[in-house]
Amino acid sequence: MTTTQQIPDQAPRTPSYVSPIPIGRTHLGHALASEWTKIRSVRSTLWTLGVFLALVVLIGCMMAGLVGADTYLNTPYTMPAFFGLLLGQMCLVSLGVLVVSSEYGTGMIRTTFTASPQRHRVLAAKILVFFAVAFVTAAVAIAAVGLYAQLTVGARTNVNWVPTVFKGALYVSLLGVLALAVGSMMRHSAGAITTMLGVLLVPAIMPAFLLFNDGLVDIAQFMSDYNAISALSLIFEGDRSTGTGGPQIALLATLTVLACAGAFAVQANRDV
Amino acid sequence: MISLEGLTKRYGEKVAVNNLTFEVRPGIVTGFLGPNGAGKSTTMRMILGLDHPTSGDVRIEGRHYAELRDPLKSIGALLDATANHGGRSAYHHLLCLAQSNGLPERRVHEVLDIVGLTAVAKKKAKGFSMGMGQRLGIAAALLGDPRILMFDEPVNGLDPEGIHWIRTLMQRLASEGRTVFVSSHLMSEMALTAEHLIVIGQGRLLSDLSMADFIRQNSRSYVRVRTPERERFLDVLRSAGLTAMETGDVLELDGVAAEQIGELAARHGLVLHELSPQQASLEEAFMRLTAESVEYHAHSGPAADEQAPWGAGWKKG
C-alpha cells in the first residue's frame, strides 16, 4: 500500500456537532429504570426466583399439613414457610451475587460505568432494585404459605402472622443484599457465593466444635443464637420467651450496611 | 475534543502508558496507532474514567469523565465487542443503557437500524458472531448521538462489507463535526480512514501528525538496482560518493534519483538488469517507527530489515 491518501483541505469546519436529542441531567431515577431492565432481562433472575418460590411454597404447603393442628395455637400460620426458606435463602443469595458479579464477569461493567460514571449511583440502584424484587418475592411466598395453612388446617390461633411475613422477607432480602455487596467487592460469582455459604453455615456448625472449649462457650452461644437458621426459626416460631428475631435482624442489617459501605468504597477507585 | 496531559499509567514496575500529551480535535477522524501492547486500550480506558491514571490528566471537553452530566450524549465508546451480558438480548442491552442516560426508547430502535441488527434485536448477544457483537458495540456508542466517538479496533471481526461500512460511518460522523478517535494496529487501515495520526509504542508518544505530514516524513523512497557487474558497480558508486544497501542480489540506494544512477551507469558502460524507483509502504514506515518499541516479536522467520533484533527493546526499558 503506497501513498495515495487523499487529504481533504483544512478549510474551517463546523466547530462541534450538536445533537437534536435534548440534554438532561442523569439522576437516580434513570439508574433505577436501567437496573430494573437489567434484572428482568436475564434468565438467571427467572431461575433463581422461580426456584425460590417453588421451594418456599411447595415445601411450606407440604409441611403445613404435616404439622399438627394444635401447633398453630401458639405458632403463626406462616411457620411452615421456615422449612422452604432454609433452602430458598440460597437462591436469593445467588441472585444477589449474580446481579453484580455477572457484570464484572462479562465485561458489561465497563459499558455500564461508561454510560454512568457515577459508580455510587449504579451500586445504589442495584441494591434498591434487588432489595425490592427479593422482598416482594419473599413476602408473596411466605404469605402464600400462611394463607394456605390458615385455609386448610382451619385450627384456631392466638398469633398474628402478618408481622412474620415482613420480618421473614426482610431477613432473607437482607441476606441477598449482603451477598450483592460481597459480590461487588469480590467480583467473582463462584468466590462470592462460596463466601456467602460460609456466612450462612459456619456460625450454625461451629458451636458444635467450640463447646468443647470452656473459654469459647460465649462465642459458641452467640453463634448459635445469631446464625441465619436460628434467626429464621425465631422469626417463625412465635415463642415470645426466646424472642421473635428482632436482635438477629438488627445484627444482619448492621452487617449488610457495613458490607455495602465497603462495596461503595472499594469500587470508587478501582480500575475495571 | 479530548485532551491528554502527561497521562501515565503504571502497573507495578511496568509502565503501560508513559507521559502521553496530545489532543483529539473535532471534525476529523484521528487514528491511534501502535503495535499490540503499546497501551492504546489502557489509554482509552483512562479517557473513559474506567482506569485511574497514576499521574497526569485527561479531559473530555474540559471536564473529567466522572463530572459529565450526560455521558452518552458527550461521548460514545466501543471498547470491547464482548462487553455485554451474553444472556441479554441486543434490545434489552441497549435499552438499559438508554434508560441510564434518560434517552427515549425509540433511540434504541434507531441505532439498531443504523447498525443493521433490527432483525436479531430480540436474540441473545451470546449467539452473535464477532462481527454482530462489534455492531452491537457500535450501536451502544451511537446511542446518545454523542459529540465524541471512540472506537477500539472497530474493524476486528468484520467482513469486507462491514469494514467498508464502518469506514464510511466514521468519516460521515467526523464530517458532521464530531470528534472521532479510532485505534488500530494496522497502518493500512488508518491510511484509509484517518486524517490525523497519533502513533504510540510502549506507552510513549512517537508521532502526532496529520496523515499528509506523516506520509511525507516517514515514507522512504529509494532506488532498486540489479546488475551482473556488481563489484564494478559498487566501485563506481563509491567513487561517486554513494553507498548501497545490499539485500541478496538486489542493491538499494537511498536519497538518490533513478535518473542519476542510470546516467552514472551509462557513463561507465555498466549493464543493469533493473533500475526502479521504489516507495516504502506506510506499513514499513510504521514498523520502522515502532521497531524499537515492539513488545512481542515473533521468533520464526528472518526479521524484517528495519526491525531491531529480538529483545533489543528490553535493554531500553
272 residues of chain A, pLDDT tens digit each? 444 444 444 444 445 788 888 777 889 999 999 999 999 999 999 999 999 999 999 998 888 878 777 777 778 888 888 889 999 999 999 999 999 999 999 999 999 999 999 999 999 999 999 999 999 999 999 999 888 888 887 667 767 788 889 999 999 999 999 999 999 999 999 999 999 999 999 888 888 887 777 778 888 888 888 888 888 888 888 666 667 788 899 999 999 999 999 999 999 989 98
Whether residues A30 and B211 touch (CB distance < 8 A) is answered with: no
Q: How far is A27 from chain B (nearest CA, A)?
A: 8
Q: How far is A267 from chain B (nearest CA, A)?
A: 11
Residue B122 CA: distances (Å) to CA of A9, A192, B92, B157, B202:
44, 31, 8, 22, 42
Residues from chain A that touch B82, judged by Cβ atoms under 8 A, are 106-107
At B295 the pLDDT is 58
The residues facing B8 across adjacent strands are: B55
Write the CB contacts of A44 (distance below 8 Å, at least 6 apart in sequence): A95, A98, A102, B87
Alpha-carbon dihedral sign for residues B110, B113, B117, B118: positive
ipTM: 0.86
Q: Which helix (H) or strand (E) holds B15?
A: strand B14-24
Residues from chain A that touch B52, judged by Cβ atoms under 8 A, are 269, 271
| pLDDT surpassing 50 at residue B84 | yes
Rounded to the nearest 10 degrees, the angle between the axes of helix A228-237 and helix A246-268 is 140
At B282 the pLDDT is 77
At B303 the pLDDT is 43
At B109 the pLDDT is 96
Exposure of A66 in the CB half-sphere (CA atoms within 13 A): 10
| pLDDT surpassing 70 at residue B74 | yes
At A189 the pLDDT is 93
Q: How many CB atoms within 10 Å of residue A195?
A: 19
* Residues B8-65: tens digit of each pLDDT: 999 988 999 999 999 999 999 999 999 888 999 999 999 999 999 999 999 999 999 9
Please name the member of A1, A17, A18 whose beta carbon is closest to the beta carbon of B281: A1
At B317 the pLDDT is 37
* Residues B171-216: tens digit of each pLDDT: 999 999 999 999 998 888 888 899 999 999 989 999 999 988 888 7
More confidently predicted of B303 and B151: B151
Whether residues B69 and A114 touch (CB distance < 8 A) is answered with: no
**Cα dihedral angle (A149, A155, A159, A163), rounded to 10 degrees?**
20
* CB-CB contact of B79 with B43 (8 Å): no
Q: Is residue B299 packed enough to be buried (19+ CB in 10 Å), middle (13-18) or exposed (0-12)?
A: exposed
At A1 the pLDDT is 42
Please name the member of A5, A30, A103 whose beta carbon is closest to the beta carbon of B101: A30
Alpha-carbon dihedral sign for residues B105, B111, B114, B120: negative
* CB-CB contact of B42 with B58 (8 Å): no
DSSP-derived letter for residue B285 is H
pTM (two decimals): 0.84
SS3 assignment, position B224: strand
At B305 the pLDDT is 45
For B60, the grid coordinates are 473530555
DSSP-derived letter for residue A16 is S
At A239 the pLDDT is 64
Beta strands across the sheet bearing B14-24: B14-24, B2-11, B55-60
**Cell 386448610 belongs to residue:** A152
Name the residue among B210, B202, B287, B211 with its Cα closest to residue B19.
B202
Q: How far is A144 from chain B (nearest CA, A)?
A: 31
* CB-CB contact of B188 with B155 (8 Å): no
Q: Which domains does chain B have, with CATH numbers?
A: 2-217 (3.40.50.300), 221-279 (3.30.70)
Whether residues B85 and A113 touch (CB distance < 8 A) is answered with: no
Residue A107 contacts B, CB cutoff 8 Å? yes
More confidently predicted of B111 and B245: B111
Whether residues B82 and A5 touch (CB distance < 8 A) is answered with: no
At A192 the pLDDT is 94
Residues from chain B that touch A16, judged by Cβ atoms under 8 A, are 1, 26, 147, 177-179
Residue type, A99: V
Please name the member of A44, A110, A117 whose beta carbon is closest to the beta carbon of B65: A117
Residue A6 contacts B, CB cutoff 8 Å? no
Please name the member of B70, B89, B97 whose beta carbon is closest to the beta carbon of A23: B70
At A221 the pLDDT is 84
Residue A28 contacts B, CB cutoff 8 Å? no
Whether residues A30 and B82 touch (CB distance < 8 A) is answered with: no
Residue A58 contacts B, CB cutoff 8 Å? no
**Cell 434507531 belongs to residue:** B110
Whether residues B191 and A5 touch (CB distance < 8 A) is answered with: yes
At A210 the pLDDT is 79
At B2 the pLDDT is 94
At A241 the pLDDT is 67
**Cell 472449649 belongs to residue:** A213
Write the CB contacts of A110 (distance below 8 Å, at least 6 apart in sequence): A272, B45, B48, B50, B79, B80, B83
Residues from chain B that touch A3, judged by Cβ atoms under 8 A, are 215, 219, 279, 282
At B302 the pLDDT is 44
Residue type, A101: S
At B297 the pLDDT is 62
Q: Is residue A7 packed enough to be buried (19+ CB in 10 Å), middle (13-18) or exposed (0-12)?
A: exposed
